[in-house]
Structure 1
């Protein structure tokens, strides 16, 4: 397994016109700012550099290249496998109500003999990540895990994009299936947020829309806890104050981040489901715990590789972590590097949601405000 990385910006174009894996890569990941991902010339050059490769990617809230965080660029990571095949599937949605069916479509398309792992990249604003994960789980073998994330758009929450099959798409999802008995894949997902305030009952919700907590309009209660200044900056300020959920239909606990608010109905829309009858607690940042959480996710990813050294680690971290950590954001990447060692190439992006198994309990689950890491090695 061989990997290499290129970066592109508006001023100087691609960093290396003659990469070593030119023509040999089977899989290329490309992450970039929405404006950069819309540059057709840059993407055409990438496709001509790696002809025949399965090139997929999405828009971001920041691109990860090694231990650096970049904005307004493209970062392309090319992979040549010795004995692993890749297959791509895509699905479109008209709205969040189509998310489960999209997961079903993708799972069925990739559920072929020899499937080892699935990575999914999804639109970050029109897809219910919980339903997408459930659709994938229900249509894949119990031994196959799914990792990935929801595309970003900085802190704007206006438009996210997915790239697949030479096309930049909105309202779309792409999934990659990996096939072969030599591939080893590890994964881990951890947060690092502190809870505050009392635990409250979700008394009224519909899918990923929360209407009431303890019988009170959810938005009014949320604003009261945030205070006047943070409330005026919604929904972007909500990235610093996610919700922790626990309940009968939730494995352990999950974190949910806000996508939008509705002043008329007093409701809050989240990236994933907020089941009625579950219990919710507000969360706030703890800088050291956020950084430690990234290292913990890296350790989990390594433990699943059966002592093989990873050649590639794909890091998907929530935009909320980036906005909270600010100038310290690269510290979580440095923590991952310390765990992974020098041989692993690090690539990834800041997202609107992360998809990863919840420990060993589920094949995949939507997470928010986590660092999720997928490690790849060939035996």
Structure 2
């Protein structure tokens, strides 16, 4: 496997990260700031760099490369596979009745099953219900197909997200990359590092990803009470205090970020579904816990591997980035220390991470986690 990485900051030229080499028909992952990806010439510009490349775009809250976390920029990771191959499929949720479950099911259903080992998903992050999307993707195939990826981001603006395949980035787009080949070895892990605190409450009224009542009381009022002075900074402040959700039909609890608030309904809007009768607790963390969680995810992803990984795909959460702030690179440093400096790392900070729980098969939507997928051929 051969790889090349480049980065471009505002009003600057492209610069290589590491060595420069020619690639044949590479997979080209382009993660970048939404404003930068709105440039009408961006697709043709990158097509000029990779004339025979398969170019996948995704807007990000920050980009992850082999040596740093890039912000207000565009980062390219191009990879040439020598023993395996990939297939790319897309879907768009605009101009149609949005059924997130069906969207996920139909997207994965486009892939021929024979020798399909893994799918990496770059999904729009503004309209989709990530919980239903992942359920739909999981039920599409009968075999134990690994699916990881993330929801595109737009920093703390939450205005719109962009994605595309071989065209200028656009709203509402989902892109899935299917990897085929007997020589492929794919492993993954996911870990958070957040700690529940305060009383456990019962969800007494909810619909899909909107939480109306906890213990019979308006959810937004209760949440504001817990935040105290920080309530004036909602909805942004909510990313620092997500919810730990334990559903009756799930073996493990899941973290849910609050993406917005509805003052009129006195409700909070989450990144994924929150079923009625679930148990809910607030969560908090610090820089050390986040860094330690990233290290643990990297070590778990290495477990049981036969071959040394060549590519690491990382998807982390905007909430983690906000906690880390100026120390955001510490999360990546922990991963590099475990995986080694000779592996190519690509990824982005997202509005939601797609992966199974560690040791399970069915993918789910997660928030506030570090997801690591390791690939070799």
Per the normalisation by structure 2, the TM-score is: 0.95
Residue 208 (structure 2) aligns with: 207
Q: Report if aligned partners of 1:25, 1:78 keep a CA contact under 8 Å in 2.
A: no
Distance 1:109 1:194 in 2: 39
Between the aligned partners of 1:97 and 1:220, the Cα distance in structure 2 is 30
Cα distance in 2 for residues equivalent to 1:44 and 1:213: 50
Q: Distance in 2 between matches of 1:188 and 1:96?
A: 34
- 2:3 touches 2:23 (CA, 8 Å); kept in 1? no
| 4+ residue segments displaced more than 3 Å | 19-23, 94-97
Instruction: Give the superposition deviation at 1:10.
Output: 2.5
Distance 1:250 1:99 in 2: 20
Q: Could you tell me which residue of structure 2 aligns to residue 370 of structure 1?
A: 369
Q: Any conservation in 1 of the 2:23–2:79 contact (CA below 8 Å)?
A: no
Give the structure-1-normalised TM-score: 0.95
**Superimposed CA distance per residue, residues 344-364 of structure 1 (whole angstroms, 9 cap, x where no aligned partner):** 111211111000111222321
Partner residue of 1:100? Answer: 101
Whether the 8 Å contact between 2:56 and 2:165 is mirrored in structure 1 is yes
Q: Is the counterpart of residue 267 in structure 1 residue 254 in structure 2? A: no
2:72 is paired with a residue whose SS is coil
Match of 1:338 in 2: 337
Comparing 236-245 and 278-287, the one that deviates more:
278-287
Report Cα offsets for 1:55-90 as digits up to 9, x if no partner: 112111111122422211110000111111111111
Q: Which moved more, 1:49-58 or 1:313-322?
A: 49-58
User: Could you tell me how far apart the structure 2 residues matched to 1:272 and 1:190 are?
Assistant: 18
Confirm or deny: 8 A CA contact 1:125 1:259 kept in the other structure. no
Alignment of structure 1 residues 1-379 onto 2, 5 Å:
1-16=1-16, 20-94=20-94, 97-227=98-228, 229-304=229-304, 306-378=305-377
**Counterpart contact for 2:195–2:285, Cα < 8 Å:** yes
Quote the offset at 1:51 in angstroms. 2.5
Deviates more, 1:241-250 or 1:74-83: 241-250
Aligned pair count? 376
Map Cα deviations across residues 181-239 of structure 1 (whole Å, 9 max, x no partner). 11111111100011111111111111111111111111111110011x31111111101
- Alpha-carbon offset, residue 147 of structure 1: 0.3
Contact 1:100–1:134 under 8 Å retained in 2: yes
Q: Structure 1: 5+ residue runs without aligned partners?
A: none
Q: Deviations over 1:7-48 (max 9, x none)?
A: 11222221149x845451431111000011122333312123
SS at 2:346 equivalent: strand
Q: Mean Cα displacement is larger for which, 64-73 or 155-164?
A: 64-73
> Shift of residue 301 of structure 1?
1.7
Decide whether the 8 Å contact of 2:144 with 2:361 is kept in 1: no
Question: Residues 117-153 of structure 1: CA distance to partner in whole angstroms, max 9, x if unpaired?
Answer: 0000111121111111001000023321100001111
8 Å CA contact retained: 2:23, 2:80: no
Alpha-carbon distance between aligned partners in 2 of 1:110 and 1:262, rounded to the nearest angstrom:
39
Inter-partner Cα distance in structure 2 for 1:141 and 1:287: 40
Query: What's the secondary structure of 1:265's corresponding residue?
Result: coil
- Deviation readout 1:255-306 (Å, 9 max, x if unpaired): 00011110000111111111111111000123221111111111122225x2
Contact 2:246 2:278 in 1 (8 A): yes
37-46 vs 368-377, greater mean Cα deviation: 37-46
Alpha-carbon distance between aligned partners in 2 of 1:331 and 1:25, rounded to the nearest angstrom: 34
Q: Distance in 1 between matches of 2:143 and 2:233?
A: 43
Deviations 1:87-123 (A, max 9, x none): 1111111489421111011111014311000000111
Q: Is the CA contact (8 Å cut-off) linking 2:100 and 2:132 kept in structure 1?
A: yes
